[in-house]
Amino acid sequence: MYCGVSKADFLDEEAPRLENWLKNDRQGKMDYMTNHFDKRLDPRLLVDDAKSVVSLLLNYFPEHTQADPDAPKLSKYAYGQDYHFIIKDKLKELFAFIHEEIGDVGGRMFVDSAPVLDKAWAKKSGLGWIGKNSNLIHPKHGSFFFIAELILDLELEPDGPMKDYCGTCTACIDECPTDAIIEPYIVDGSKCISYLTIELKDELLPNEFRGKMDNWMFGCDICQDVCPWNRFSKPNNIREFQPHENLLHMSKSDWNELTEEVFQELFRKSAVKRTKYKGLQRNVKFLTNSQ
């Protein structure tokens, strides 16, 4: 886990970027992205008298990936148990420690569940830079991290941001099969495979993406897998992030014949439950009919 601190202030740099992104409908049908615009940019609107944002990174890179190269693919972050619950428990421990050491400190914990621009705060606190694929990249461990925050009414010494080390590399842009990275640092969410397979709740996936999904049924890791900085990724050692014993050994036919009972067993505490059985079935059928 990595930890960095930034001052709880208005995100001047991100404000026009977010405004333009929303104005151009890059959020697709994620209507919630248009809510709480001001709160996304100012943590003091989320926590009374907020003074510091403590950003934390938790590695989820797995030791092993799916065995069958022809099987529909699952994003690595979803191999284990749902990160929201695991990280929230860790934040509670950290908050309790702060209270023990310092005394009465007010604040809130955030794990991708409120209008907080996680990557922007992690960047400001020196935990990495935002890559051309819009992911946070740490120079020693790549980008396979969950990001969380404590927003506190406690004055802490802020860390400074680091420089961008993407250089002239365009691997993520070149390899995205749906051309979702429309220009360096700007992702059109409505074209992203992760959006299509998780966030989009339509009964059918758009025909324009037929044959372009690169066999991803839940999420997508392409822009991270091709990033040169991820050669430094190291397997996580968190028990809850280890995959179900059968998950990585599922074959292409296993996924095509997946029953709701097996789905519930495989993903009992998983983020994959967000798509529900019907949603995952939709995705797998779309891939099968595209081949």
The reported pLDDT for the residue numbered 282 is 97
Domain boundaries, the chain: 1-283
Q: Mean pLDDT of residues grouped by 10 in the chain (291 residues)?
A: 94 88 79 81 94 96 96 96 93 93 93 89 96 97 96 95 96 98 95 96 94 97 98 95 93 96 93 94 91 65
The reported pLDDT for the residue numbered 157 is 96
Beta bridge partners of 59: 145
- Cβ atoms of residues 214 and 222 within 8 Å: yes
The reported pLDDT for the residue numbered 22 is 83
- Measured between alpha carbons, how far is residue 244 from residues 41, 67, 78, 247, 259 in Å? 38, 14, 11, 5, 16
Render 59-93 in DSSP notation, one character per residue. E---S---S-TTSPEE-GGGSSS-HHHHHHHHHHH
Query: Would you name the residues annotated as active-site residues?
Result: 112
Side-chain half-sphere of 243: how many Cα atoms within 13 Å?
21
Burial of residue 102 (number of CB atoms within 10 Å: 0-12, 13-18, 19+)? exposed
The reported pLDDT for the residue numbered 114 is 83
Type and span of the H or E element at 193? helix 193-194
DSSP state of 244: P
Looking at residue 258, its amino acid is: L
Looking at residue 75, its amino acid is: S
Gyration radius of the chain over CA positions: 19
Residues 6+ apart with CB under 8 A from 208: none
Residues 6+ apart with CB under 8 A from 291: none
Type and span of the H or E element at 267? none
Residue 225 phi/psi, 5-degree rounding, is -60, -35
The reported pLDDT for the residue numbered 291 is 65
Q: How far apart are CA 171 and CA 174, in angstroms?
A: 5
- Which ranges constitute the DSSP H helices of 103-160? 118-124
For the chain, helix (H) and strand (E) counts, in that order, are 10, 10
pTM greater than 0.75: yes
The pairing of strands 73-74 and 216-218 is: parallel
